[in-house]
A = this chain, B = another copy of it.
Amino acid sequence: MTQPTTAAIVAHVTTVAQNAKAASRIIALLSSGVRNAALAAMADLLEERRGAILAGNERDMAAGRENGLDAAMLDRLSLDEKRIAAMADGLRDIAGQADPVGEISDMTLRPNGLRVGRMRVPLGVVGVIYESRPNVTADTAALCLKAGNAVILKGGKEAIHSNRAIAAVLADAAEGAGVPRAAVQLIQTTEREAVTALLKLDRYVDLIVPRGGYPLIRFVSENSLIPVVKHDKGVCHVYVDKAADPAMAAEIAVNAKVSRPGVCNAMETLLVHADVAAAFLPTVARRLIDAGVELRGCEKTRALIPTATAAVDADWDEEYLALILSIRVVDDFAAACDHIARHGSGHSEAIVTADYAAAMRFVTEVDSAAVLVNASTRFNDGGQFGLGAEVGISTQKLHARGPMGVVDLTCRKWIVLGDGQIRP
């Protein structure tokens, strides 16, 4: 295949964005009945055309093997009938969720007789830039349509044939259900220049959501003229307070580290109050080591867990996404909070304690997207919080903080109902 020129890439991306903008005006006015029927049709058509999707995926898998992708990457890339069925079920779940669009709230009657309130409306056009996993294509497109938006998808090079097959199914199903085809568009080229071009189109695109590793997130932040909601790294902490129930603390620590180490809400650092370290650490260390976790610790930790290697400074800022855990013994509650403020990424932090005052202080003082008392960090998730499917977990403070669900793909405009008021 010949390399497209930069001009051709910019032209393609601009056309996609213009089509999305035009479609978004129509989609915003569709009833939720039409949008939900389109989601159901998408689910059915994904299953019906699984042959084409699997064929596209096989091309990606072959190229991936040829290019030496590792086993974990190949597993994320791979689709089979069961994964396609799960994708379709995900879309049906989204269709069944409550519809936020059109809700009017906070309507007040002002002294001059004006009724002033807010109406929830779609954002317009959402651009999602992501890496490898092809199921993101279906999930994100569905969430955006549910919220009344048009979506522009820019997936990774590795999954291009899978993504093309899935996006074609989604657009066909949308069109069949009375939704503009351009509700779901995939950028057809995989060059980085397509991302750069998209990030400049603030005339047409209302929100950019980057999902992927730090270099992608950074590139998007540095180049976007469009507002960005980042789904950045999770350097999550569990702090075992001196008043912790040791059995509960061990359960939570093991769950937070081991249940799914490759995700952003997994614990990366365990902080233990000095008063309970001697009693707590050896026991929990045995369970973690048995589960295959490599331990890295501060000096006090290593005095209690001889097999732990020495943590270096960089360990405290590292998102391992693997069966590795750094452990630090802290002198007191304030030292735990300081460590989190200095090294945390503002994602998910938990305290284990039986002390009411410590629990309340932790909830108040720790500034992360989710702050948990006596629960695993792994609960920071849209499904677990009752939001349904999520676009990702935002680590920024503006617009969406924590799990970003359908509601965060909308905004609220002000509406004012008068009977001739003018401003004095």
Chain A interface residues (CB < 8 Å from chain B): 25, 28-29, 102, 108, 110, 114, 116, 119, 121, 123-124, 202, 206-207, 221-222, 225, 227-229, 245, 248, 251-252, 254-256, 259, 341, 359, 363-365, 367-376, 378-380, 384-386, 396-399, 401-403, 411-424
A207 to B398, CA, bound (A): 8
CB neighbours (8 Å) of A365 from chain B are 29
CB neighbours (8 Å) of A424 from chain B are 259
Is there contact, CB below 8 Å, between B227 and A225? no
Q: What is the minimal beta-carbon distance from A238 to any residue of chain B, in angstroms?
A: 11
Other A-B pairs, 13, CB within 8 Å; known A25-B367, A114-B375, A370-B416? A102-B364, A114-B379, A123-B398, A252-B420, A259-B423, A259-B424, A371-B414, A372-B415, A372-B417, A374-B418, A376-B423, A378-B422, A385-B414
Partner of A245, one of B225, B420, B423: B420
Pairs A-B, 4 closest by C-beta atoms: A375-B418, A255-B422, A378-B423, A372-B416
Is there contact, CB below 8 Å, between A375 and B414? no
Known: A124-B397, A229-B398. A373 touches B255 (CB 8 A): no
Q: Give the nearest-CB partner of A364 in chain B.
A: B29
Q: Give the nearest-CB partner of A420 in chain B.
A: B248
Partner of A423, one of B370, B384, B396: B384
A363 to B28, CA, bound (A): 13
Copies in the complex: 2
Is there contact, CB below 8 Å, between A252 and B386? no
Is there contact, CB below 8 Å, between B422 and A386? no
Is there contact, CB below 8 Å, between B414 and A402? yes
CB neighbours (8 Å) of A420 from chain B are 245, 248, 251-252, 374-375
CB neighbours (8 Å) of A359 from chain B are 417
Is there contact, CB below 8 Å, between B221 and A202? yes
Q: Give the nearest-CB partner of A416 in chain B.
A: B372
Is there contact, CB below 8 Å, between A374 and B206? no
Q: Give the nearest-CB partner of A354 in chain B.
A: B419
Q: Give the nearest-CB partner of A402 in chain B.
A: B414
Is there contact, CB below 8 Å, between B119 and A397? no
CB neighbours (8 Å) of A124 from chain B are 367, 397
Known: A207-B398, A397-B206, A415-B363. A422 touches B376 (CB 8 A): yes
Partner of A368, one of B372, B413, B422: B413
Is there contact, CB below 8 Å, between B373 and A417? yes
Is there contact, CB below 8 Å, between B369 and A414? yes
CB neighbours (8 Å) of A225 from chain B are 221-222
Q: Give the nearest-CB partner of A245 in chain B.
A: B420
Known: A202-B221, A227-B228, A401-B411. A373 touches B422 (CB 8 A): no
Q: Give the nearest-CB partner of A251 in chain B.
A: B422
Q: What is the minimal beta-carbon distance from A381 to any residue of chain B, in angstroms?
A: 8
A273 to B420, CA, bound (A): 18
Q: Give the nearest-CB partner of A371 in chain B.
A: B415
Known: A123-B397, A221-B225, A414-B385. A419 touches B369 (CB 8 A): no
Is there contact, CB below 8 Å, between A376 and B421? yes
CB neighbours (8 Å) of A25 from chain B are 341, 367
Is there contact, CB below 8 Å, between A110 and B384? yes
CB neighbours (8 Å) of A227 from chain B are 227-228, 396-399
A29 to B403, CA, bound (A): 25
Interchain residue pairs with CB less than 8 A apart (20): A25-B367, A102-B364, A110-B385, A119-B364, A124-B397, A207-B398, A229-B398, A252-B420, A255-B422, A371-B415, A372-B416, A374-B419, A375-B416, A375-B417, A375-B418, A375-B421, A376-B423, A399-B399, A401-B412, A403-B414
For A121, A378, A403, which residue has the most chain B Cβ atoms within 10 angstroms? A121
